[in-house]
């Protein structure tokens, strides 16, 4: 397939390279030119004018506003697709927004796959993501070769856009709560004289563990908050969760509280650090010292 790929971030670049490795022709765009250069070095190409129309567009940008702009804005990539081509949209957005994008694509005689992703940068680079997808049978059929290259598992959740984004919101509810709980547990352990390394070693083989605890806990142990997923991401993702819940009149007090903690951490200056830095917020609030703190 000829695929245009927009958004070569920590996950997007790995996804695009996985497409190249599977034999697809991939043209990439990202505001950060070094990311495009990395794709070119891996066998991809950069965007250009007067090129053949693509079979598919993969959009791996940050949020709904960016999705709308890159797909249907003045320079939107939807115009680069052939008639009947498919948009594979991977950002975390609301189900209502995904349905709106599907309708706009249909107006242009394009297919749309609501396809948020999970798995992290390492699995993205290995073509082993989990993709929570929803769309028409034609959208799945057209997108299948690309999905096969990027994902280990494709969850087919419905025949129209929306359920994929709904499922991603469920996943993000749990992921955000688990990261916040990891940070609280690390600070709590330190307040009792335990080192983060001890907490990580014991909890990782005990009933209290979670994937997020085992993945983010080492960041606290190593005092390495280089952002792989920023604190501020959770203001958006848990904000989507609480907005969806409010529209259904469903109370979500645990995820709402986690959102409040991430918001407070951001306001404390940690917004651009790795989301494991939520542990620093809890520790500093309680006068507790973690690795890397003076």
Catalytic residues: 168
Long-range contacts (CB closer than 8 Å, 24 or more residues apart) made by 219-222: 219/274, 219/276, 220/182, 220/183, 220/186, 220/196, 220/276, 220/279, 220/290, 220/291, 221/196, 221/197, 221/291, 222/291
Q: Phi and psi at residue 224, in whole multiples of 5°?
A: -110, 105
Q: How many residues does the chain have?
A: 294
- What is the SS3 assignment for 26? strand
3-state helix, strand, coil in the chain (%, to 5): 55, 15, 30
Region for residue 9 given its phi and psi (left: phi exceeds 0; alpha: psi -120 to 50; beta: otherwise):
beta
| CA-based radius of gyration for the chain | 20
């Amino acid at each position: 397939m000829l695929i245009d790929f927009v958004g070569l971030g920590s996950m997007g670049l790995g996804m695009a390279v996985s497409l190249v490795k599977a034999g697809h022709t991939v043209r990439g765009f990202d505001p950060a030119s070094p990311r495009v250069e990395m794709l070119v070095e891996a066998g991809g190409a950069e965007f250009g004018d007067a090129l053949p129309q693509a079979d598919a567009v993969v959009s791996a940008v940050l949020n709904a506003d960016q999705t709308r702009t890159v797909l249907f804005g003045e320079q939107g990539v939807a115009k680069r697709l052939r008639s009947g081509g498919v948009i594979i949209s991977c950002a975390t957005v609301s189900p209502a927004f995904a349905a709106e994008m599907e309708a706009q694509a249909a107006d242009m005689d394009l297919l749309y796959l609501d396809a948020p992703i999970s798995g992290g940068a390492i699995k993205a680079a290995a073509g082993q993501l989990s993709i929570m997808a929803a769309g028409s049978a034609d959208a799945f059929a057209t997108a299948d070769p690309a999905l096969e290259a990027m994902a280990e598992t494709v969850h087919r959740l419905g025949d129209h856009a929306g359920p994929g984004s709904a499922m991603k919101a469920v996943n993000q509810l749990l992921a955000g709560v688990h990261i916040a709980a990891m940070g609280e547990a690390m600070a709590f352990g330190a307040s009792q004289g335990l080192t983060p390394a001890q907490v990580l070693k014991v909890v990782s083989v005990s009933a209290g563990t979670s994937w997020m605890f085992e993945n983010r806990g080492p960041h606290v142990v190593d005092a390495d908050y280089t952002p792989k997923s920023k604190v501020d991401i959770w203001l958006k993702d848990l904000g989507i969760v609480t907005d969806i819940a409010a529209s259904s009149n469903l109370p979500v007090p645990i995820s709402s509280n986690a959102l409040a903690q991430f918001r407070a951490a951001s306001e404390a200056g940690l917004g651009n650090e790795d989301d494991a830095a939520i542990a620093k917020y809890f520790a500093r609030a309680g006068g507790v010292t973690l690795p890397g703190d003076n």
